[in-house]
Amino acid sequence: MSSSRECCPALPEEATTRIEQIADAALRRFVRYGFKRSSMDDIAREAGLAKATIYLHFKGKDDVFRAMMARFLAQVAARCEAVMAQPLPFPDKLSALMLAHFGAGYAAFGDGEHLLELKTVMASIATQEAQAFEHIFCNHATALLTHAAAQEISLGALTPGQIVETIAHAAIGAKMGPQPSLETYEARLRQIAVLAAQAVAKR
């Protein structure tokens, strides 16, 4: 039975924590069972909350999905920012950035049998969030290349944007074929980073 406290408006900090709790539960539920097979009741049970509490913060499942994406984006952005703050050589920082971004995405969604469905849902109701996820890596990697070009690397005739686009395509391609394990995918990301770093190394 739900407590009366669950049905009362929460304080701002408490509400933020509750929203994060619901978003984390929704991610677990959607990855295991998919979007269509997950109801608001299911999400509430996964979060350990009353359904009425979910509706205090969200109008419906679409809103929960967008909040889940926003929560995940914030986590990935924080990881990438932490990498960028580290005093690492260019190859190591590029590898760490790829793991923080693409590796985190694969860890959250890549092994799920409902990935294609979730991508379709992202494209239909969370396009801004999906685009923001791509921009996290592109913006940080572009800044990394631009900064490193002054000392560690040589871009040649390519722009940072062109190199970043190629790296991103390689990271996506590394998931193709038989479903790789997270460890295999992360190893492939490291290999891509090594190859990219070698390609722009000063001769």
Query: What tokens were used for 198?
Result: 């070698």
* Residue 200 near residue 163 (C-beta atoms within 8 A): yes
* Residue 123 near residue 149 (C-beta atoms within 8 A): no
Q: Which domains does the chain have, with CATH numbers?
A: 4-59 (1.10.10.60), 63-200 (1.10.357.10)
Rounded to whole angstroms, the Cα distance separating 19 from 14 reads 9
What is the chain's mean pLDDT, rounded? 91
Lowest pLDDT segment from 4-8, 64-68, 81-85, 168-172? 4-8
Q: 182-195, pLDDT tens digit by residue?
A: 999 999 999 999 99
Q: 97-150, pLDDT tens digit by residue?
A: 999 999 999 999 876 788 889 999 999 999 999 999 999 999 999 999 999 998
pTM for the full model? 0.87
